[in-house]
Structure 1
Amino acid sequence: MRRFILAVFVSIACAGSAFADVRVVPPGNRNSDQPPIPGASKQRTRETKSSFDAKYEKIRDLLSRDKQLIAKIKKTSGQYGIDPIHMVGALVGEHTYNVDAYDTLQTYYVKAASYAGNSFRFAYDGEDIDSFVDRPQFAECAKFSDSYRLWTCRENVWDDDFRGKKVDGRKFPDNRFSAVFFQPFYAGQTFGLGQINPLTAMMLTDMVHEKSGYPKLDEKDAGNVYRAIMDPDISLAYMAAIIRRSIDDYREIANVDISDNPGLTATLFNVGDSTARARALARRNTGGGFSWPEENYYGWLVNDKLPELEKLL
């Protein structure tokens, strides 16, 4: 109940501020120095005997020489009404700090094809996700018909009623909903060109279906979900949907326009949960004060390298 009281409060506050002028975030970084890079990212890079500079140059060079990929980015960004530099920034951030880019786009297609027809499932401790969300605790989510609000509600129920708690004599992990149920290989795993989380894909499948025409995803077909987020063409659509959602959330909830700041959209692509973050910014900016959203280490690099990245387009 408390999460819905909070949601109502925020909605009322946002509705009252909707008549205020939307503030456009200035270009560039708010921090003069790059924010700290997480130790996990440093460890992954050391394990591959690489460096952040080398990984940045690899994804930059892939984008520079692969005109087909750039054409796909431009086409997809147009479908979602965003500047293609936002998609370039997200790709650069992911492949600099989280994974190492493959040398060719074709390699991503081959990897995606390897998941077609696989019979793995989204489940925890023998319980399928569709059975789990049929529990009475999730009844309040049934009123939502769109995939974003439906799965956001389910994630909130997990955090409030199950995460780290004992329910009906069974102890549940103190971990994210996506890590427990939506990553059957190992926790924290994301895939493909856009490094999309399966739960994020489930949330945005309605938008992607509407704007790009791809079939809607079904939690009972985990293999198809992974194929979608690993196929470069479909993955780009989900990347664009994430960015579109972030821009809309900050404009509609916090009266802040981030559409001209690729470092901020890249930051939100990295950290996720743009709706909650926009609400937090709106709360901070009530009562007369005002603060701009800030980029993290990932978005800081994108803004810092922006003149070079814009040349790729």
Structure 2
Amino acid sequence: MGLHKNNYTSAMMSALCAVSLLMPSTAYALTKMSGDNVNVEQPAIPGSSKNRTQALKKTFDGKYQKVLQLLKNDRGLISDIKSVSKKFGIDPIHMVGAIVGEHTYNVDAMDRAQSYYIKAISYLKSDINFEYDGENITAFVERPQFEKCNNLKSSLELWTCRENVWISKFSGKTVDGKKFPRNRFSAVFFQPFYAGQTFGIGQLNPLTALMMTDAVSKVTGARKIDASRGKDVYATIMDPRKTLPYIAATLKSSIDAYKRYADFDISTNPGITATLYNTGNPKARALALARKNKALKAAGKPIETPQENYYGWLINDRIDELRSLL
């Protein structure tokens, strides 16, 4: 997600939906999704994913089999996934789907879960600061453009608001004499090592983790992470045990968003939740779908359902094999 893997188009959608973020959909009754794929054939896999896999002389099926073996061999990890899922009130297949999708299409799985933590140690030896061009994120969000976000109560609302302000007021613009890159908020401020990075077994990025910290703390009692403590953020998302609640919280937020804003229950379709874990911005996407379906219904046409992308399609297609892990 690398949820959370937001692209710039997804981020723009989030900004456009910002004006109606607090308006739940009430146009029609809740529709429960089945666990089947909407698309008969797998949607196209992005060229970037293909090129990355080919450059490493890998195949998608080979990467899928490797992460499958990791999960088969680590019963302790599976036990933790089931335990965390129960705490967040979701089916553990959603967590399995997100992990498998990330390691099939974005990164190679390691041989065992503990290897992710060992890899983290090399990063955590150095200082980690979230900044751009010498301006720390904590100072950046004190700019007057972010004032409207200050009274928001949850970390999800707060950082979503800040992301939307970045898109509308800073991305690709010159502000107070300083030019800002036309890129994702997470890419500009939250990737101190290299562009496009996500870490850990859930391949979370720091911004997604910051959005989810209130939900994780509420459910598990864990100490909240803070943007001013970069090392803590990275230690959390890179440690396989600490990051699992953040994966679960991200998936739960997607289920909640589609139920509240689009009137769809996607809790029984891991392909859809995996898709949203991959693309990010579930709230904006749910609102966009709700608006589209309101117009379709007014025109007397059938409504559209959420659809899985290439990443989620694989999860539903291999669901029996993935369920056997649990």
Question: Structure 2-normalised TM-score?
Answer: 0.91
Question: Amino acid of the residue matched to residue 324 of structure 2?
Answer: K
Match of 1:16 among 21, 26, 34: 26
Conserved? CA contact 2:71–2:77, under 8 Å: yes
User: Structure 2: which 5+ runs fail to align?
Assistant: 1-13
1:228 matched residue in structure 2? 236
Runs of 4+ in 1 over 4 A off after TM superposition: 3-12
1:204 matched residue in structure 2? 212
Match of 1:41 among 8, 30, 49: 49
2:248 matched residue in structure 1? 240
Deviation at 1:124, TM superposition (A): 0.1
- Residues 163 and 260 of structure 1: CA distance in aligned 2, closer, same or farther (over 3 Å): same
Deviation at 1:271, TM superposition (A): 0.3
1:285 matched residue in structure 2? 293
Deviation at 1:27, TM superposition (A): 2.0
The answer to whether the aligner puts 1:308 opposite 2:321 as a matched pair is: yes
CA RMSD of aligned residues (A): 1.6
Deviation at 1:109, TM superposition (A): 2.2
For 1:243-278, what per-residue CA distance to the aligned partner results, in whole angstroms no more than 9, with x for missing partners?
000000000111100000000000000000101000
For 1:79-132, what per-residue CA distance to the aligned partner results, in whole angstroms no more than 9, with x for missing partners?
100000000000110000000000011212212344445312000000000010
2:308 matched residue in structure 1? 295
Question: Amino acid of the residue matched to residue 297 of structure 1?
Answer: Y
- Residues 73 and 9 of structure 1: CA distance in aligned 2, closer, same or farther (over 3 Å): closer
Question: Structure 1-normalised TM-score?
Answer: 0.95
Conserved? CA contact 1:115–1:227, under 8 Å: no
Deviation at 1:9, TM superposition (A): 4.8
Conserved? CA contact 2:37–2:317, under 8 Å: yes
Question: Amino acid of the residue matched to residue 253 of structure 1?
Answer: Y
**Which residues of 2 match residues 100-111 of structure 1 at below 5 A?**
100-111=108-119
- Residues 4 and 158 of structure 1: CA distance in aligned 2, closer, same or farther (over 3 Å): closer
What is the SS of the residue equivalent to 2:267?
Answer: coil
Conserved? CA contact 1:35–1:296, under 8 Å: yes
Deviation at 1:151, TM superposition (A): 0.5
1:190 matched residue in structure 2? 198
d(CA) in 1 for partners of 2:104 and 2:18? 36
Match of 2:161 among 123, 146, 153: 153
Conserved? CA contact 2:15–2:164, under 8 Å: no
d(CA) in 2 for partners of 1:127 and 1:24? 46
Greater shift in the superposed pair: 285-294 or 173-182: 285-294
Match of 1:268 among 269, 276, 292: 276
d(CA) in 2 for partners of 1:221 and 1:89? 30
Deviation at 1:6, TM superposition (A): 5.8
Conserved? CA contact 2:199–2:238, under 8 Å: yes
d(CA) in 2 for partners of 1:95 and 1:282? 31
Q: Which has the higher contact order (CA 8 A, sep 6+)?
A: 2
The answer to whether the aligner puts 1:173 opposite 2:193 as a matched pair is: no
- Residues 237 and 32 of structure 1: CA distance in aligned 2, closer, same or farther (over 3 Å): same
What count of residue pairs does the alignment treat as equivalent? Answer: 308
d(CA) in 2 for partners of 1:193 and 1:6? 31
